[in-house]
Amino acid sequence: MNMAENWITYDDKNNVPQKSYDDLLHCGSTRELTDDEAVALVCEEFGFDKEKVTVVRTVGKYEIDTNSRRLRLVGETERKPLYNATDFNYVRFDCAGWFYEMYNGELRKYYC
């Protein structure tokens, strides 16, 4: 029996959840960082070489078929680098074949 496809929005577990990002984005004193400010922040906090850091302002937007569990990329979602406080911030960036998210002062690392 061939089941019909049933595609729904999928929140990629490799990224900060969209709701968490949106909470930071819409908080009153949060400000968007320029790429230079974002690079300076992650280099100061974690010791990266600023010549090797590239700020990434999007994440993939996915759907999942609830029957087969297949994923499909359906677009991109904007993810500006944001700063509110030392423990309330977000920057997505690539460095040396790895991609990272700095979120709330902590570093999340993934292989590209």
Q: What are the structure tokens assigned to 46, written together?
A: 């974690």
2-51 pLDDT, tens per residue? 578 999 999 888 889 999 999 999 999 999 999 999 999 999 999 999 99
65-74 pLDDT, tens per residue? 999 999 999 9
Task: Outline where DSSP puts E strands in the chain.
Answer: 7-10, 31-32, 53-55, 58-65, 71-78, 82-85, 88-95, 98-103, 106-111
Give pLDDT, residue 1. 47
Q: For 101, phi and psi rounded to 5 degrees?
A: -130, 125
pTM passes above 0.85: yes
